[in-house]
Amino acid sequence: MTTESPRWFKSSYSNNGGNCIEVATNLAATHDVVPVRDSKNTDGAVLNFTTGTWSSFIAYAAAQSV
């Protein structure tokens, strides 16, 4: 994919309850990918979403929290 490494972060809304994901948005503009992983298992599987899919998910999640 790329030699550029993902820069992982958790949401500022995360309260460290253990049910968190980490996202690396730094690859979105240059590679059209948003990797996502389980914050408890950082050596585990990574799901790669296109930027369009990720944006749709975020929009849906935001609409559900209203």
pLDDT tens, residue by residue, 13-59: 777 667 789 999 999 999 999 999 999 899 999 999 999 999 999 99
What's the domain range around 16? 1-66
- If pLDDT is split at 50, 70 and 90, which confidence band does 11 have? confident
Domains of the chain: total: 1
- Residue 47 phi/psi, 5-degree rounding, is -95, 130
Rounded CA-CA distance 63/33 in Å is 23
pLDDT higher than 80, residue 66: no
